[in-house]
Chain A
């Protein structure tokens, strides 16, 4: 006899009737195939049950012990950004027909999700300037890894050249992937905040499968994609670009600059920061690479009455069909967050995306000017940037993490400590400024940082 639970409809009467139908004496009888030696007989020492009211209280208490951007002013970016989320998004992605559905295996009753993904693919192609996009990846970082894997397969080469200006966690993830597939990683350094083109030229050979570049890069700086493209295409390797989708409101589409694969993270497009996940990776390729793409892809077709409809397609690439010969092991994707990104782009529209990108550009440049006016703070890089930039703090004086702890007391989430991932950039802070930051926020941050510096 167990206590009733609000998610379980089984009554004692149900149980008795069902057991009678089965011809079993007890529920326990249904587990007779499990050897006694491996039966768990105790009560598992895990967190105990709470009633709904108490559980809400407990969760609110846990949440309350985190400094959230509802209460703090954030200048943190480094891959996760504090953008405004139009209110319509949560209303729409909270419709349970979307969020309680599985992958759309039955197209006749999944046209909503399938069309939403088709529109997402269309949005990604439009932003990136690429021919084909998939239904999404786990995040931007795993999308970059898969791009490297695709390039190695397509070129039958096993060396990937990765710029050190690519997100450090992306490079770590690419390295893990490379170890699995037996690929070699060559890292190329930077100069003035962007990839060192001479070093890149020297690193790229006839054995290079691809060059992996991020722009805006981890330092916020814009890479000269037009200058990198001939270096890798000169050896018939692939040009892989990781892009920030909001920046593409102002920046040229990487596809127009010769990229073969464009990936990125859609988090800036209305997705909550949520401690860095879940977000949504996007993945787009030039047409010749279409059948090598990982993940789900939705295509348009017609039903037997000639009516337009959508289906999962090109499934001959995928693990459930090809098993060990699949182009990737990916199964689930981030459909709900792809929907989120689509709703964001529908809401912002043609002019809104330009406007939000421009607000980021203007406010970040105002912030860099204000910060560099503070005594002891300098700007180490002069390369053009979008909404993030690096400052250098005085060598003597508190460390970046000490400063950030101080800023926290003033209600500010300070920038990312670059010394963590780049030993040579100890004392440097990466600062993100989105459209949410007001002139007052920025002035306050500058003066606080000036005090500490």
Chain B
């Protein structure tokens, strides 16, 4: 790997070079000024680079080599479900009949796409135990906000103005942020010593103001909320609804369903559970499912099936919260997710969750004597450890993570959830072999040993990456956010 600085594309520019080939102008041509008033015409051309095609290829190829994806190696990033992204998904999404279709074509010219969307709506409803699904939200947080807007509309339709959303202290940051964006105040409740929702705290927190409780189950600690039925009862008794953050659904497919646990609204992260790639930060998809009483409030349109067998976009939804995104959601991602479901079927998806949970428990048990385990017992698809025992040697969890880079691993999620000191959160997924897990575990054990014997090796890590630790403080204090090349 090249360890020098990599030039910006702008720094490769040389006047006169081109990398494009455009159709000829085969119509009579006039100067732009003939069509556009001078006041609206660009005075100075945008200062884009002038490079040729080989520059483009080598530039982005080099950038890709300075990046780490699942195909490069193990990526046990907790709460992110970094499973293998199947290649067939990429092929199907690129079929011309999916990639090159327009959202406003006549419905009869989109029947294959509509059938796919309709089937996916139904499959996700069955998987989550919900009655109807909207595929429109573009991401998990977007799904959360959509769900909360429906919860708000539901309460308002009953003449109730409920202003509070309750979240546990172990929840994803998007939960309270989405609550704010949907116009709610957030109440954060503490977890008990077992990492579960504290029922007394919940009972104290609920009131006639409670709009919803947002919960991830299994939680971000990788633990199943065993008292979920009681939790649902407390919230429903108070007139509130239950929102299921589906980020951790990889633990439960075909094993238990949010709808059966008492949840009223669910979002799924297709870029986690359904193997669609994370793309370096997106695009994802965050479909939302609801119980029947919330169906009227779903974003519009949803895809319907007429008695004559024709699929259509159903816009006739007068109580809908409206639209949350242009068009029908991230269709290209939905094609990938549908492809994935069909590579497994119902029994295969159950096997996915079983293997994900077995892998996580195996890692937890093998690491238990080397790192602190705040919540021993059985975990689901992920688990948390604490690196605080290494602080005696001056080594922090961040250092352990950075040291893992030297061994070719992407580190686990660190410092989340916030209620575990020096937290390390590991999610292996089902697509990793025992050999991979063993090698990673051995490396973690070795790093713990290094922390005791040669802490400077850990604190100074990483040693073999294209850049070493970066100055994030100056980056935030004196931001340089573009190259100002123009």
Contact = CB atoms under 8 A, between A and B. Distances in A.
Given A98-B67, A305-B468, A121 B177 contact: no
Contacts of B188: 323
A199 interface: no
B280 A331 contact: no
Contact of A319 (B59, B83, B177, B465): B177
Given A7-B84, A43-B346, A44-B349, A62 B280 contact: no
Interface string A14-29: 1101110111100101
Contact of A104 (B23, B60, B281, B433): B281
B10 A108 contact: no
Given A33-B224, A108-B462, A170 B326 contact: yes
Interface in A303-352: 303-305, 307-311, 313-316, 318-326, 328-337, 339, 342-343, 345-352
B361 interface: yes
B328 interface: yes
Contact of B46 (A103, A276, A350): A350
Contact of A320 (B173, B348, B352, B361): B173
Interface string A415-427: 0110000000000
Contact of A350 (B27, B48, B108, B141): B48
A298 B358 contact: no
A65 B401 CA distance: 49
Contacts of B361: 18, 22, 24, 30
Interface string A98-116: 1111111111111111011
A41 B432 CA distance: 26
A209 interface: no
B50 A350 contact: yes
Contact of A66 (B88, B111, B139, B346): B111
A92 interface: yes
B97 A66 contact: yes
B217 to A, nearest CB: 10
Interface string A73-94: 0101011101010101011101
A361 B280 contact: no
A184 B122 CA distance: 36
A33 B172 CA distance: 22
Contacts of B63: 98, 111-113, 115-116
Given A101-B68, A277-B328, A329-B177, A250 B348 contact: no
A274 B27 contact: no
Nearest to B148: A180
Contact of A274 (B25, B331, B432): B331
Nearest to B251: A31
Interface size band for A: 35 or more
Contacts of B42: 248-253
Contacts of A256: 43
Contact of B40 (A135, A139, A252): A252
B101 A47 contact: no
Contacts of A98: 63-64, 67, 69, 279-280
Interface stretch (B201-209, B254-262, B287-295, B445-453): B254-262
Interface stretch (A230-238, A390-398, A431-439): A431-439
Residue from A38, A139, A321, A322 having most chain B Cβ neighbours under 10 A? A38
Contacts of A428: none
Contacts of A101: 67-70, 278-280
A276 B5 CA distance: 38
Given A46-B127, A67-B109, A276-B331, 14 more contacts: A7-B430, A8-B352, A66-B110, A66-B113, A68-B98, A72-B109, A175-B322, A249-B45, A276-B327, A278-B283, A301-B480, A330-B142, A347-B53, A350-B45
11 contacts: A30-B354, A34-B255, A50-B342, A99-B85, A99-B280, A118-B481, A132-B481, A248-B42, A302-B471, A346-B59, A348-B19
